[in-house]
Chain A
Amino acid sequence: MTILSPSAAAGPLTVSGAPVPIAASSTLVNKLSVKPRLGQWSKVLIGGPNLGADESNAMAVLYPVPNGGQADAFVVQDEGGQNTIDLSQIYVYATIPGDTPMVEAFEYKTI
């Protein structure tokens, strides 16, 4: 049977000074969201392999949420119900090295 399962690539993503891909190798998922981690002060950039730390080629720029309130988020999901989003092609950058934006990803699996 087919289930929508949390991806092993999900969790806090450490960004240490340059844009990093969410996964090192091709990892296809159905849903992806990236949010600044609550209490951290980084602005978070989302983009493709050509994402620049200066916001060039950014798909989304998320503001931090240091003191409460709903965090800004970048969310994309294949509405056709397929695993089509390649995490190795999505890059994340945090303006403060060492910050850890939260990555949520779900993939269809057959069990």
Chain B
Amino acid sequence: MNRRELFQKAFGAGAAVVAASVLRGQSASFNGPAGGSRGSTLVTIVTGPFDTSSYPNGVRALTDTPQFATYVRIQAHPGQQGKIAIGNSAMASATGNVADSAFLELWPNWDGTLDNGRSDTWILSDPEWNNTINLADIYVWPEIAGETPVITAFQLA
């Protein structure tokens, strides 16, 4: 084992922590690790019922500041009655039916009687588990104001 290998073995864990903190500090234009990075611990960065009601037209990006995830899941909230539209920034400035600017719609699951109670769900993940999905680029619009799709996003930090 040469000196370099010995150093890596002895200080590998510490070096990983240093690398992660460098990533976090490298830009003020986004939160967390840079796009395309891949850490070693899966952490949840968005979770729970997602309220868009205080945003113009009820259209809200998953995060206000860019943040890069490796996995995103959006689920129609069981018991709620409106469709959920998912799209890009074009949805934020849409007029008329916002869903006409979406790339996907989720059907509601108001009483669990369809599809054995499963809720319609959209999942996007990076195939190599890199943090490449900018949550600020993904917008959500509940057809019925005040409804709250269930959203989860993971990042490898």
A102 touches B107 (CB 8 A): no
Q: Give CA–CA (A106, B123) in the complex, Å.
A: 12
B107 touches A71 (CB 8 A): yes
A10 touches B120 (CB 8 A): no
Q: A4: nearest residue on chain B (CB-CB)?
A: B132
Q: Give CA–CA (A76, B95) in the complex, Å.
A: 31
0/1 interface trace, chain A 72-83, chain B, CB 8 Å (1 if under):
000001111100
Q: A2-B35, A3-B36, A6-B138 are in contact. Are A104 and B103 (CB under 8 A)?
A: yes
Within 8 A of A (CB), among B77-121: 83, 87-88, 90, 100-105, 107-108, 114-115, 118, 120-121
Question: Looking at chain A, what size class is its interface with the partner chain?
Answer: 20 to 34
Contacts of B118 in A (CB 8 A): 70
**B152 within 8 Å of A by Cβ?**
no
Q: Give CA–CA (A38, B84) in the complex, Å.
A: 11
Contacts of B130 in A (CB 8 A): 2, 81
Q: Give CA–CA (A10, B101) in the complex, Å.
A: 9
A3 touches B68 (CB 8 A): yes
Q: A31: nearest residue on chain B (CB-CB)?
A: B124
Q: A1-B34, A77-B127, A81-B130 are in contact. Are A105 and B103 (CB under 8 A)?
A: yes
0/1 interface trace, chain A 16-45, chain B, CB 8 Å (1 if under):
000000000000001101010110000000
Q: How far is the CB of B38 from chain A (nearest CB, A)?
A: 11
Contacts of A80 in B (CB 8 A): 127-128
B126 touches A69 (CB 8 A): no
Q: How far is the CB of A12 from chain B (nearest CB, A)?
A: 6
**B148 within 8 Å of A by Cβ?**
no
**A residues touching B (Cβ–Cβ < 8 Å)?**
1-6, 10-12, 30-31, 33, 35, 37-38, 65, 68-71, 77-81, 102-106, 108, 111
**B residues touching A (Cβ–Cβ < 8 Å)?**
34-37, 68, 83, 87-88, 90, 100-105, 107-108, 114-115, 118, 120-121, 124, 126-128, 130, 132-134, 137-138
Given A1-B36, A33-B104, 10 more pairs with CB closer than 8 A: A2-B35, A4-B132, A6-B137, A38-B105, A70-B107, A70-B115, A70-B120, A102-B102, A106-B124, A108-B132
